[in-house]
Structure 1
Amino acid sequence: MMSSPADSPSPTPQAGTMAPFSVLLVDDDDVATEGVLRSFRKLGVHCNTVTAEDGLVALEILRNEHPSKRLGGPFLVLLDLNMPRMDGFQFLEALRKDPVLKQTVVFVLTTSARDTDRARAYNENVAGFMVKSAVGPQFSLLASFLDKYSASVCLP
């Protein structure tokens, strides 16, 4: 992705055009991660995708403290809830307390269909809550949704 000179503002994407964006996929399930990445490729979702196996690694990436992984903006986070070391709820709590990262757009992508998990996630200001089994075969509905979302929303 090329960056604009500091003295000239980046053009604002027009409605219906593809704005380049990045996705931070936070999930410890290698099969689910590969499924999401495969669906992006298959449906031609134009985004840079960076993966993190738990909330601690995700925070390192978002804070530019990870030794090798970088995330360009604008970006959004796809977050699993059930992970080792730092789970999705702990990640959301840390994210929302961080003055630089608190406005990050987060979509939960989880196996949990529990109403309590959904309510708790929305209390942490997530943009959406998706159950993995409901986002289509091989995550096709997820890929299609993100493609349309990125084309119609200006991410922070």
Structure 2
Amino acid sequence: MKEIVCVTGAGGFLASWVVKYLLAEGFIVRATVRNPSNFLYCLLVELIEPALIGTRKVLKACTEAKVKRVVVVSSIAAVMLNPNWPKGKPMNELCWSENEYCKTSENWYCLSKTEAESEAWEYTKKKGHGVVTVCPALIIGPMLQSTITASSSILKGTLLTR
């Protein structure tokens, strides 16, 4: 029986390539995508709560499907907002964006990514899944999807303003 792998955020640039690679290697892939029409950057309630609920639902479904490993495609946003991290020290799996700092600076996207990834780690500790998180920054390269991604949008905006 082929191993089943769940990849979150499969509509994004990196996750779409992870899915392509896993399929080429013979894995059965279950992928999640969000509905862009329901995703608003501006409001806390439309950003953090769906991230947590979505994470819980995906992980519960993985448990029911007996998925052994979950690939959570997160973001550098989950680690970069930590003003107490020692300057010059490389960020690693021990570095998280600080929730209170994210709230104070009203950076709801970073808070949602931090809390969703934390939720994934806590859930998988209890249920015994293997979990891998990927926290990319700006990603550039050939796109597999037909719509523009967040990273591509940033690049496009930068190029058009010059």
**What TM-score comes out, normalization by structure 1 length?**
0.41
TM-score, normalising length from structure 2? 0.40
Greater share of strand: 1
Which structure's CA Rg is the greater one? Answer: 2
